[in-house]
Amino acid sequence: MNIERNWNGSPTIVDNEIEEGCLFENTLVGFGTIIIDKDFIDEMNKIAEKNKAGNKLVALLTTINNDVKDYFYSDGGNDKSREQTYSDNDVVDEHGFIVGTKLSSLKGKNVALCSEKSIGCYLVLKKLYEMGSITRKPSLVLSSMKTTNSKPGPHAFVLLDKECDDPTKHLLFDPENPTYIDDGNGNQVYYCGIYSLTDDDYKNFTEGGVCSPTSIYEIGTNYHEVSEKRTYGNCEQIMNL
């Protein structure tokens, strides 16, 4: 299976089986193809097993976010660029052609961004869903994003379906973009990026439009979001906002 971005602006939504050898096209952000290898899948399954006892969803997503980040980042450091790190770990087939770079070879290299982190978080959540530890079905999404002060660019993240028999909203889980909120005492506190989508937001986004979802930390609390407002979706429409 190959996971590629759609050129028509509609999001690529993956909600089926990702198996060993699945290829994730990453060239739009300047690098080659990601190979989702067995070692990486096994490591993500271990994170899922560690968290299968269950927890409140926000706390669970925060833990998964941190566990996946810890997988890719280490105190050892890496003096090579993201592009060079990918190049150094290229897999070449018997004909001498570059196939891609195994995700497991990036462990502890300190270069993972939205693509790598979102694949990891999706695999963990998919395993938890299959085990019945969570009831929201996850999907891996390739799309675009811009902030108040940045231009739109390719982006990957995770969607979590709303509860089937509950009026709760769809969730957008962005492992690459944390939310910083004021704790009420003038201090900025870090939280992983979790956003609430209304049915209209979800429908518009999945049909190729855009959405500017609300951080869950703005809902029903005294906190307010202090990070830049984010818009996800069709790059051409984002350019006109």
- In what helix (H) or strand (E) does residue 97 lie, and over which residues does it extend? none
pLDDT for position 222:
58
DSSP character at residue 95: T
Amino acid residing at 238: I
All structural domains of the chain with their residue ranges: 2-239
* Tokens describing residue 33: 């193809």
- In what helix (H) or strand (E) does residue 68 lie, and over which residues does it extend? helix 57-72
Amino acid residing at 122: Y
Q: Global pTM?
A: 0.91
Tens-level pLDDT at each residue, the chain (241 residues): 788 888 777 899 998 778 898 988 875 554 678 999 999 999 999 999 999 986 789 899 999 999 999 999 988 778 898 889 998 999 988 888 888 899 999 999 999 999 999 999 999 999 999 999 999 999 999 999 998 888 888 899 999 998 766 666 899 999 998 877 777 787 777 788 999 998 999 999 999 999 999 888 777 655 565 567 889 998 777 766 5
pLDDT for position 107:
95
Residue with the two structure tokens 């299968």:
52
* Tokens describing residue 239: 């350019």
DSSP character at residue 146: E
pLDDT for position 44:
97
Q: Do 33 and 99 form a contact (C-beta atoms < 8 A)?
A: yes
pLDDT for position 75:
84
